[in-house]
Amino acid sequence: MVKADAQENNPSPVRTWYREAVVETFSAFSTTERGLDMVEVVKRLKQYGPNCLPAAKTLSFFRIFINQFLNPLIYILLIASIVVFFLGEITDAIVIVSVLIINAVIGVIQEGKAQNTLLALENFTKTEAVALRNGVEEVIGDQEIVPGDVIVLREGDKVPADARLFELKNLQIDESALTGESTPVSKNIDVIEKKTDNPADQLNMVFRGSLVVSGAARAVVVATGVSTVIGGISRKMVTINTDIPLNKSIQSLSKFIGVGVLLISASVFGLGILYGNSAGDMFFTAVAVAVSLVPEGLPVVITLVLSIGAYRMAKQNALVKNLGAVEALGQASVIAVDKTGTITKNELMVEGLYIDGKTYEVTGNGYESKGNILLDGAALDPANHPEILFAGKIATFCANARVSFHEKEQLWKVSGDPTEAALLVFGEKAGFHKDELEQEERQVSDLPFTSDTKYHATVHMVNKKSFLSVVGAPENILALSNKIWNGSKTPRKLSDTHKAEIEAAVQTMSSRGLRVVAFSYIPNYKEELGVAPIQNAVFIGFFAMRDVLREGVRESIEIARANGVRVVMITGDHRFTAKAIAREAGIFREGDEIITGKELKTMTKAELVVHLNRVSVFARVTPESKLDIIELLRANGDIVGMTGDGVNDALSLVAADLGIAMGKVGTEVSKEAADIVLLDDNFRSVTLAIEEGRNIYHGIKKVILYLFSTGLGELLTVVIAMVVFLPLPLLPTQILWLNLVTDGFLVAALAFEPKEKLRNRIVKKGNRFFFDRLAILRTLTMGLVMASVTLFVFSIALKTDAAKAYTLSLTVLAAMQWWNAWNVRSEKKSIWSKKMWTNPYLVVATVIVIGLQLFAIYNPIMQKLLNTTALSLTELGAAVMISLSIVFVEELRKLLRIAFHGKK
């Protein structure tokens, strides 16, 4: 692949070619308009390397598998499995090792996201190119392009390298995948004096990966491979290493557990020796306590919870590539959205029509031809309104684009200029179909839009006369018009008053972020189109169009805000357009701020921090600026989700805590860089997924709360017994039994908790261990209740029968752990509510663990292994009844919580 040292020789990054004359560019690369000869091409391929991106460094499957075990929690579990094995608890050891292997296999499947992103970048830009070699056009693979080559671009071509234009005709380039700007860019060859880092402002340049919408051009290549703009994105992407919040939380939790287990085990051992217990007994007790405190089932249960969540999200059209991202979405405090393709459909639609001082509203949905034309809120029949028919006919005459709906992808696609596609659809709403219209009134000549004239003109035969239609920029259309249409056969003179009214209407529309296109006509045009200048035209009015909002976007943003998630728009579009769309979508509200990419670069970090929480729109930003914004938000303590669909979004998708790509319109690069892919490209799916993520976050909290509280109950039972000079109420084998039975079945069942309605329930920042004050309080309360009740039963029974004392303490503690699994299901709802019986898996798991406990009490073999003895029905009933104390304490807490905080 590309040689690093060869690429460093590429002169592109050093010079700003858009600021230099074409002749200087030719001179710098020792080339001419005829291009290079093959001898020079071979030489430059050796010097600069092939025109492709660096190959991703891949690891072997074995290495990836080994990497899955490099985690503090895994170390603890491995040590625990070895110790348990030598203690003779082979089943426990097998369970622990099985969990580790399953977890590692899942990790191997998910590995390689970054290298796939680079491969997608390469595939995105790989294409054929036309280059001049000794003045002759040759079709070659784009990897053979070198700096100094002259490339030929035509409609439909993908640009193979970054190049300086020197010859063009009506060239329009779709750069949305690179810049985020939704409309095609008209290019020119003029030198740009002002320095700019934004490719969107470099109008005399073309960039690798962009698409030629219309026209033709020739350009001299100034950068190839990693030296191109898209190559810079790939270079930057390699350096970004953002871990999802769940991984960070698990790592922090693992370290906490590891240190805690070592300290507690050592303390239990030392305390036991201090209180007169034998070193041998205390060693096995300390090991048993350590094993009980290590939640070996946690990795597999978390994976199970995430898998269930991912399945639910898939039903909501959100495909999860990285399981950890499911939970991360639940913690998101900021969702940064790209405008084009995410908030909007990237479908321009005529929204307003201005004729003869009247403003008409046009309804519809993007490129669908269904819609009405309204005046003062009342729908009109175009057939009864000559002004609408006139506008529809001219719009159809001047629309060379074609629109088609792809059933398989459920997506509208445009061939040609999106602006003309919008005109074509408006013409259909007015009752015209281009093919039928031009069969009756054939086209005689056509003058495409250029950056110089800024209009598109056509001549058709209407009533055996040459009828000229012209559509373009309002100021240019006004300049070539001297009359104004008023519905009569004789147009009026276009006065200064008329011009002032028209300019005011245009300004009003433009301030709303609408794209304004004016139109005029000449009824009997006798000149040759394109030779003589157009003049003395009759001005009719203008069309106002904008990219259509996706259905349900505004409602979805309100839901996100109610969930405590701030939505921020980051776009390559201009300030006015971005503000208008953001206001319409409900992202921008009064008092909010807008910052452009240029302003972003002039502000210090201290200034940005001051403004950050008030900014809802970042406009005219580069891919690098998007990355800076994401990193700034994350540095502010936010969990950031980023949506995007273009190559320009790849950096920020990787840098965000979780990246969300559009599945339909998104590039392969964005989909590979993302953690979640929206199959329907609908922002509503993000808000539904946030709610699902919240459920998963709280589901993991429940599991961890259960494991910690039961572990604490077992620990306190042992420690308090030693402090009050009681014999240890639990034997090491009994502790291991509890850990195997109750933790295994009940924890797995908790993974299948039904979905709750968690709207308006905000996840607080900084809960690294999934623990807040309430969780800590519940853990301590339930742990203390388990220990105190167990010790009370043990001390009473010990006076009459030691064997029954151990059996009763084991049974009481086991029963309290059963009840505890039901307790943790809700922070506020009673265990006896109907809602609490909606998890059949927990019911089955409870029946299983009860059966296993009875087996441990009454089976002779188990009696020998666990030092248990048979209990009478009265004793068994009493043990179960007294274990209900943990339910009564937790129910009391829930009642007090409602009393002080209400039902919210």
Catalytic residues: 338
- Could you give the CA distance from residue 367 to residue 406 in angstroms, rounded to a whole number? 12
**Residue 750: closest CA among 703, 694, 705, 691:** 703
How are beta strands 515-522 and 537-549 bridged, if at all? antiparallel
Q: How far is CA 206 from CA 186, 189, 218, 346, in A?
A: 11, 11, 10, 22
**Residue 345: closest CA among 366, 371, 316, 370:** 366
Cα dihedral sign for 383, 387, 388, 391?
positive
366 alpha-carbon distance from chain centroid = 24
**Residue 838: closest CA among 753, 727, 751, 735:** 753
- Give the containing element (helix H, strand E) for 353: strand 344-355
- Could you give the CA distance from residue 475 to residue 479 in angstroms, rounded to a whole number? 6
In the three-class reduction of DSSP (H, G, I as helix; E, B as strand; rest coil), residue 875 is classed as helix
Work out the burial of residue 873: count CB atoms within 10 Å of its CB; fewer than 13 is exposed, 13-18 middle, 19 or more buried. exposed
Residues 6 or more apart whose CB falls under 8 angstroms from that of 783 comprise 709, 710, 712, 713, 715, 716
Three-state DSSP string of 373-406? EEECCEEECHHHCHHHHHHHHHHHHCCCCEEEEE
Phi and psi at 244, nearest 5°, equal -70, 150
Q: Tell the residue number behind the tokens 């029954």, with chain if given.
A: 804
Structure tokens at 652: 């920020």
Structure tokens at 605: 């970090």
DSSP 19: G
Angle ∠(858,864,867) on CA atoms, nearest 5: 85
Where would I find the beta strands (DSSP E) of 454-579?
A: 455-462, 465-472, 481-484, 492-493, 515-522, 537-549, 566-570
Strand partners, 566: 334
Residue 23, CB-side half-sphere exposure with 13 Å CA sphere: 0
Q: What is the dihedral of CA 750, 752, 757, 762, to 10 degrees?
A: 50
Q: Tell the residue number behind the tokens 């402090």, with chain if given.
A: 723
- Could you give the CA distance from residue 471 to residue 477 in angstroms, rounded to a whole number? 7
Strand partners, 603: none
CB atoms within 10 A of CB 647: 31
Cα dihedral sign for 672, 674, 675, 679?
negative
Question: Is there a contact between 226 and 53 (Cβ–Cβ < 8 Å)?
Answer: yes
DSSP 647: G
The DSSP result for 791-825, as a single string, is: HHHHHHHHTT-HHHHHHHHHHHHHHHHHHHHHHTT
Angle ∠(160,164,170) on CA atoms, nearest 5: 85
799 alpha-carbon distance from chain centroid = 64
3-state helix, strand and coil shares in percent for the chain, rounded to the nearest 5: 50, 20, 30
Residue 902, CB-side half-sphere exposure with 13 Å CA sphere: 1
- Could you give the CA distance from residue 574 to residue 518 in angstroms, rounded to a whole number? 21
